[in-house]
Amino acid sequence: MSDDDEEIRIPSAPGPSVPITTSYTYHSPTPTAEGPYILGVDEAGRGPVLGPMVYGVAFCPKAWGKVDEMGFNDSKQLTPEMRSTLFNTLSEHEDHFGWAVRVISPQDISSGMLKRPAINLNEQAKAATVLLIREVMEKGIQISELYVDALGPIPEYQRYLSSLFPGVSVTVEKKADATYKIVGAASIAAKKTRDVCVEQWCWEEEGYTAPDIPVGSGYPSDPNTKNWLQEALHPVFGFPRLVRFSWQTITTIMDRHGHAVEWSDEGQNDLRAAFKMAEGLDKGRCLVAKDLHVKNITCI
């Protein structure tokens, strides 16, 4: 919430009464100014153990120099008040400036990481980046230059993006959000969206009451987040879906403080018991085997 306790409303977050049950994409109105355009990409929420990971893009005409005067920067270096002001700036020049976010839900993050084969966080991040760029292009925006905050080995990622978007000049750099203003704008879109999604999280679990303590940043090292996780844990049912259950931090907490559960296949056990009971009644074939018309079976 804001300092004056007014409810924050932004178009890229669902609001406090709508649970985030799956990943989604939001696009601002499409700019109408003549291109070609430059586009920046950045993310927020890669490392936290709770809440969504959000990828953001921002784009404007290459010849439009006003973006350099707006004060965009690495969102982590700005105060919440500055981020709010700059987020509002994103929508003040709709004819020249556009932005979009991909909100990857904590459920989808964990489900991907636990698949076989796993879809790790880097692969999910790449998919979100490519999806956003393609959707912007599909809206008729001609992109000539692409600036991306680094993800893994820089040369490899740059070659990957260049192969997908031939004819576009691709630049991948560490701390690109502090170097290129258009990436800083994408950082603001992603960070503000994630913050509001977490602050206004709507609990999907019926009857769940969250601990009345600060949730913190969501990073495992944050003392507030540590305290919140300890209080939020149900020893049998685990954590609400705000939490990324594939994170090692979460697994460790559940192992230490949750109740151990032994899973069994009741149907298989019942069938095994039925064969055992029938064994003494017919030495040739079990009654269950006879009913099933099974021949040459050895009873368990």
| Angle at CA of residue 23, ends 28 and 78, nearest 5° | 60
d(CA 206, CA 209): 9
* 3-state SS assignment for residue 167: coil
Task: Write the DSSP assignment of 57-126 as a string of letters.
Answer: EEEEETT-GGGGGS----GGGS-HHHHHHHHHHTTS-TTT-EEEEEEE-HHHHHHHHTSSS---HHHHHH
Contacts of 89 (CB under 8 A, 6+ apart): 70, 71
The answer to whether 212 is a known ligand-binding residue is: no
CB 117 within 8 A of CB 108: no
Give, for 43, the enclosing helix (H) or strand (E): strand 37-44
Torsion, CA 149, CA 154, CA 158, CA 161, rounded to 10: -60
Contacts of 123 (CB under 8 A, 6+ apart): 112
| Angle at CA of residue 150, ends 84 and 190, nearest 5° | 20
Query: What is the 3-state composition of the chain as percent helix, strand, coil, each rounded to the nearest 5?
Result: 40, 15, 45
**Torsion angles phi and psi, residue 6, rounded to 5:** -80, 145
| Angle at CA of residue 37, ends 33 and 41, nearest 5° | 125
CB 110 within 8 A of CB 242: no
The answer to whether 42 is a known ligand-binding residue is: yes
Residue 89 tokens, joined = 């700036």
Please report, in range form, the residues annotated as the binding site. 42-43, 149
Please report, in range form, the residues annotated as the binding site for a divalent metal cation. 42-43, 149
